[in-house]
Amino acid sequence: MDGHAELLPYHQQRIDRSRRIYYAKSPALKLEKLLNTLEIPTKGLYKLRIEYGVGLLKQEIIPYHARAVSSLRLVNADKVAYGRKYANRSQIRQCLEKKGHCDDILMVQHGYLTDSSYANIALFDGKHWHTPAWPLLRGTRREMLLQKKIIRPSVIRVRDLKSFQSIRLMNAMLRWEEGPTLDISEVIGLNENW
């Protein structure tokens, strides 16, 4: 935002975790070093998208526009694997095709809530914010909020949704206070068989 890279240590941790699994013997990919080589806009909100293999394959700086979300559809995502923020989002796109008239989806794996199509989630019970203990992706904003104890990890089943008042979407590009926040009544599909 405005030339500043937020959550950089969290992004670096996530890249390091992925690279240890897939490219353990490759040289480290240091985000701060990469950022110093790029011409970053000093005004506005931009997303740095990188793709890497053994080395850096591609980088691009893209303007970011927050999505307006006022409804979510519960969608079965039992077969979705997205733990490493892959460039291939085809499984998530297949889930999105089921959103109907809703703005986005709320993915469910084996009866447990995970994420929306582009964000982690947190649910408010009137006193505390809870985030699914097993998201599809351990997002950087989520990690920071957990560390600061603003949100707490919880096992949340679809049937537990009725005990919450609201749901908030969060990702690296949205500050906590700016994330779309919906009343639980805007989650469509609660009465279906889960």
The half-sphere exposure of 165 on its side-chain side, counting CA atoms within 13 A, is 6
Q: What is the pLDDT of residues 108-121, one digit of tens each?
A: 999 999 999 999 99
Same-domain check for residues 103 and 50: no
Same-domain check for residues 20 and 52: yes
Q: How many domains does the chain have?
A: 2
Q: In sequence order, what are the beta bridge partners of 170? A: 120
What is the three-class DSSP state of 179?
coil
Question: Which residues form the domain of 30?
Answer: 8-63
Question: Full-prediction pTM beyond 0.85?
Answer: yes
> Does residue 3 lie in a domain region?
no
Q: What is the pLDDT of residues 55-70, one digit of tens each?
A: 888 999 999 988 899 9
The two three-digit tokens of residue 164, written as one number: 């919450």
User: Of 39, 63, 87, at which residue does a domain stop?
Assistant: 63
Nearest-angstrom CA–CA distance, 167 and 132:
12
